[in-house]
Structure 1
């Protein structure tokens, strides 16, 4: 059996940011996209999490916690405000797996 080529977690974060950057302008509201553009250098973040049940229901298949991650991309809150999650992107750690689904803020 061929061994899978996997992204490291840092590479997966970079990959998620690349996808976000490519799709954000057409999927976020103009207000959210402008807010992101103004503050991404100082407040932008990506967090990786194990996909929740909502992804399992949406995908109609089980997801493997070792291979599938949800990347939450957004802006950290200011003055004690909550973080703003702009997108949740479901990705596989397999480098040649095309799995990629996104849920955007406001959609």
Structure 2
């Protein structure tokens, strides 16, 4: 059996951010994209979490908590406001796994 080649969590976060950057202009509303462009340097973030149950329903398959992560990318809130999650991206840590599914704010 061949051993899986895995992204580190930092690499996976960078990979998710690259996907976000590539697709954000066409996937976000013009207003959300402009807001992101204006504030990403000071308020932008990307966090990795375990995928929620909604991903199991969407993907119609079980997800391995050791291999699958949800990247949440957005802007931190100001003056006590909640963070604005612009995209949730489901990814595998396996480098050659093609699993990638995104949910965008407003869709």
- Provide the TM-score with structure 2 as the length reference: 0.99
By how many angstroms is 1:75 displaced? 0.2
Matches within 5 A, 1:60-79: 60-79=60-79
CA RMSD of aligned residues (A): 0.3
Q: Does 1:43 align with 2:35?
A: no
Q: Secondary structure of 2:36's match?
A: helix
User: Could you list the runs of 5+ residues in structure 2 that have no partner in the other structure?
Assistant: none
Question: What's the secondary structure of 2:10's corresponding residue?
Answer: helix
- Deviation per CA, 1:25-74: give whole Å up to 9, x if none: 00000000000000001000011010011000000000000000000000
Query: Unaligned stretches of 5+ in structure 1?
Result: none
TM-score for the superposition, normalised by structure 1:
0.99
Number of matched pairs: 107
Once the two structures are superposed, the pairs formed by residues 8-47 of structure 1 within 5 Å of their partners are 8-47=8-47
